[in-house]
Amino acid sequence: MTAADYQPPRFLRSPHVQSVLGSSPLRRRHGERSLAACEAETTGHIIDGGNGVRLHGLHSVMPGDEPRGLALLLHGWEGSVDSSYMRLTAAALLRAGFEVFRLNFRDHGGTHHLNEGLFHSNRIDEVVHAALDVSRRFGRRPMAVAGYSLGGNFALRLALRAPAAGLPLAHVAAVCPVLDPARTMDAMEAGLPLYLWYFEKKWRSSLARKRELFPEQHAFDNRVLGLRMRPLTQWMIERHTDFGSLENYFDGYSVAGDRLAALEVPASILMAEDDPVIPVEGFRALRLPAASSLEISPWGGHCGFLESARLDGFAERWIASRLADALG
């Protein structure tokens, strides 16, 4: 199963149709129904992110079955464990014989109350620590990780750090991962305004919730919430990180160029040529080790990869296939 097998009908070949439908209420309901149909046992857990950080996630397993492995799933920015692609991917993995742990990043999925500090994209340490905690709790079997968009970026950085952290990862799969955050920001500002508006709206809502919960620590006013994406990111960097500048912050979580050449964990990357959010050019410049692969489809939009009017997705089947192959 490769990107060449993805042949969407003509009415689904627009990148904007793919991207918008992929996160639509219709697909959200499809994800709910698909996961419920698996009849898996799902339990919520508070996970140790180290240094007092608490993260939340959901563990799902098919009752009575002996799983072939454990899959850790990471969502995109302002997504959650309940995003449609997370539920649909969990369903595909459960049907393929995996147990699944879906992890919420800090301040995602209604978890703003668990930590005082704000989420930002360089909080990789707590995700590594959380993955270790998940592995200790459920790691009776081989473990793999998969992620979408920013979650794909976190998954790849997690794989880079896994050997030194003592995290036993067998494979990593990433769909439309953020490679170069600076180029992604440029692309959103130059592209269809819908995407920038969507992420700004969700981030402002998240920040407002954080201010409501921790007014003494986050006493910013509504003028801050009215900033556009770039100046709002700059505000966050200056007040809530030690990076000092937008350039240093973006460089801190970039995996572009030769940064993935050091991967010891085999990786599979799926990208769409027509992604309207993440420029495809950076993927052609990637240096990957021999055990890793990159597949670029002509279609798919940003994390869409829809296959039919039922809104089934190629990406979730691709992840299940890649992880099943890796774990035998």
Give the integer Cα–Cα distance in Å for 103 and 127: 9
How far separated are the first and last CA of the chain, in Å rounded?
Answer: 15
pTM of the predicted protein model = 0.96
- What dihedral do alpha carbons 141, 144, 147, 151 form, nearest 10°? 90
Report which DSSP code applies to 69.
Answer: E
303, pLDDT greater than 80: yes
Predicted local confidence at residue 65, as pLDDT: 81
3-class secondary-structure state, position 43: strand
Mean pLDDT, range 47-53, rounded to an integer: 97
Give the integer Cα–Cα distance in Å for 241 and 86: 29
Predicted local confidence at residue 64, as pLDDT: 86
Domain ranges of the chain: 9-180+262-327
Give the integer Cα–Cα distance in Å for 132 and 137: 9
1, pLDDT greater than 90: no
Q: In the CATH scheme, what is the code of domain 9-180+262-327?
A: 3.40.50.1820
Residues with a catalytic annotation lie at 149, 275, 302
Of all residues in the chain, the percent with pLDDT exceeding 70 is: 100
pLDDT tens digits, one per residue of 205-226: 999 999 999 999 998 999 999 9
According to DSSP, the residues that pair with 292 across neighbouring strands are none
The overall average pLDDT reported for the chain is: 95
User: Is the Cβ–Cβ distance between 175 and 149 less than 8 Å?
Assistant: yes
Split at pLDDT 50, 70, 90, the class of 271 is very high
CA neighbor of 296 nearest in space, from 282, 311, 310:
282
Of all residues in the chain, the percent with pLDDT exceeding 90 is: 96
Amino acid making up residue 300? G
Return the structure tokens found at 26.
């219709």
Split at pLDDT 50, 70, 90, the class of 191 is very high
CA neighbor of 127 nearest in space, from 101, 103, 152:
103
Split at pLDDT 50, 70, 90, the class of 30 is very high
Predicted local confidence at residue 123, as pLDDT: 97
Predicted local confidence at residue 328, as pLDDT: 77
